[in-house]
Amino acid sequence: MKLKIAKLPGDGIGPEVVEQAVKAVDAVCRRFGHEATYSFGYVGAVAIDHCGDPYPDETHAICMDSDAVLFGAVGDPRFDNDPTAKVRPEQGLLAIRKKLGLFANLRPVETFKSLVGKSPLKTELVDGADFLCVRELTGGMYFGDRGRKDGGDTAFDTCIYSRFEIERILSLAFDYAMRRRRHLTVVDKANILETSRLWRQIAREMAPKYPEVEVDYMYVDNAAMQLIRCPKAFDVIVTENTFGDILTDEASCISGSMGLLASASVGAHTSLFEPIHGSYPQAAGKNIANPVAAILSAAMMFEYSFGLMEEGAAIRKAVSASIDKGIVTEDLAAGGKAYSTSEVGDWIAAAIES
Ligand code: IPM
Ligand code: MG
């Protein structure tokens, strides 16, 4: 198969980890007889430096013309503490989500047997945890009206959702629940927020269409607690944009390192695959960042965008082997030998081919 891939490494450690994902993709292609071609696009702070726009039109054209997007990270400390900055790297990510219509963000949380001890949670709580967060990605406060008034001393952000937006994300979440253990948890704040009440109302309307799916409704504050109290109780979680942003960072610590979790953003146009960690500027250029999340994002790309399940499984198997054998970066080394980003990438690529 010919795979046309847009490569958007972005900022910070993005380029280093995406390079390792590319090695894994190329190894899969050699082993299974596919042909991958890559088109590079600027995004984030590097795109602002390049042309003043965090998601330039030329990058959008490349994404629209590709079968999948491999994304690194965006963010740069130069912008973080400057409330007057007119453009920010993060706007590039919001723009790509909106323009590609990526309304769903799928963040699977899995544990690796040999790493359960790395989790800040007790081993017996996390061992075997396996759930999928489905985060709505193009609505809510991220995209609602915002601004200042009273001469700048009052600020507002609006959380807004339409029936259409809620139905499409819920139906995707119900579908995933059907393919998994048939348990869906709808997370909201329906005791306070009107948008949450609409989510709950629509979920209740839709539930009879999926009689095999057991549906729970949980307030987000409680969900934040249950996630670390009893992560194994979850199968599929669906929630709005902001809640999903927060809960998925929290969930990432279950598996032991943020550097392990991959994600797929899917919707109307080309799907995008990205590690859930950020640009980690302190580590940029040091060849120490964990490339596993980016490499597992490439596995999700094979499975989701190309329907190549065996290829995705080959990547997952190589990643598990690297972790079991201790071929890991410093975040997971715990006193043992820490390998560099590129060494881990090379090892995994070789394992895919062998
Ligand atoms: C994420 C990130 C982004 C978000 C930022 C970088 C805009 O935190 O993908 O979770 O808030 O959605
Ligand atoms: Mg986030």
Three-state SS letters, the chain: CEEEEEEEEECCCHHHHHHHHHHHHHHHHHHHCCEEEEEECCCCHHHHHHHCCCCCHHHHHHHHCCCEEEEEECCCHHHHCCCCCCCCHHHHHHHHHHHCCCCEEEEEEECCHHHHHHCCCCHHHHCCCEEEEEEECCCHHHCCCEEEEHHHCEEEECCCCCHHHHHHHHHHHHHHHHHCCCEEEEEECCCCCHHHHHHHHHHHHHHHHCCCCEEEEEEHHHHHHHHHHCHHHCCEEEECHHHHHHHHHHHHHHHCCHHHCEEEEECCCCEEEEECCCCCHHHCCCCCCCCHHHHHHHHHHHHHHHCCHHHHHHHHHHHHHHHHCCCCCHHHHCCCCCCCHHHHHHHHHHHHHC
What value does the mean pLDDT take over residues 224-239? 97
Which residue in 189, 210, 235, 339 is the catalytic one?
189
| Active site annotation includes 235 | no
Which residue in 67, 130, 175, 249 is the catalytic one?
249
> Alpha carbon of 130 to those of 109, 139, 256: distances in Å?
6, 27, 13
Which residue in 127, 245, 317, 346 is the catalytic one?
245
Ligand nearest the Cα atom of residue 242: 1
> How far apart are the CA of 342 and the centre of ligand 2, in A?
25
Percent of the chain with pLDDT over 70: 100
> How far apart are the CA of 209 and the centre of ligand 1, in A?
32
> How far apart are the CA of 248 and the centre of ligand 2, in A?
7
Question: What's residue 119's pLDDT?
Answer: 86
The CA distance from 45 to 52, in Å, is: 9
- According to DSSP, the residues that pair with 6 across neighbouring strands are 39, 69
| Active site annotation includes 142 | yes
Say yes or no to pLDDT of 6 above 90: yes
> How far apart are the CA of 185 and the centre of ligand 2, in A?
20
Say yes or no to pLDDT of 117 above 90: no
CB < 8 Å & 24+ apart, contacts of 221-225: 221/189, 223/185, 223/187, 223/247, 224/250
Considering the chain, tell me which residue range(s) the CATH 3.40.718.10 domain(s) occupy.
Answer: 1-102+270-354, 120-255
Options 3.40.50.261, 3.40.50.150, 3.20.20.70, 3.40.718.10; CATH of 120-255: 3.40.718.10
pLDDT mean across residues, the chain? 96
The CATH number of the structural domain formed by 1-102+270-354 is 3.40.718.10
Ligand 1 lined by 93 (C-beta under 6 Å) = yes
Pocket probe mutation, ligand 1, options 69, 93, 246, 247, max atoms within 8 Å of Cβ: 93
Per-residue pLDDT band for 83 (boundaries 50, 70, 90) equals confident
Ligand nearest the Cα atom of residue 54: 1
Ligand nearest the Cα atom of residue 89: 1
User: Using one digit for the tens of pLDDT, what is the confidence trace for 169-190?
Assistant: 999 999 999 999 999 999 999 9
- Protein residue closest via CA to atom 8 of ligand 1: 245
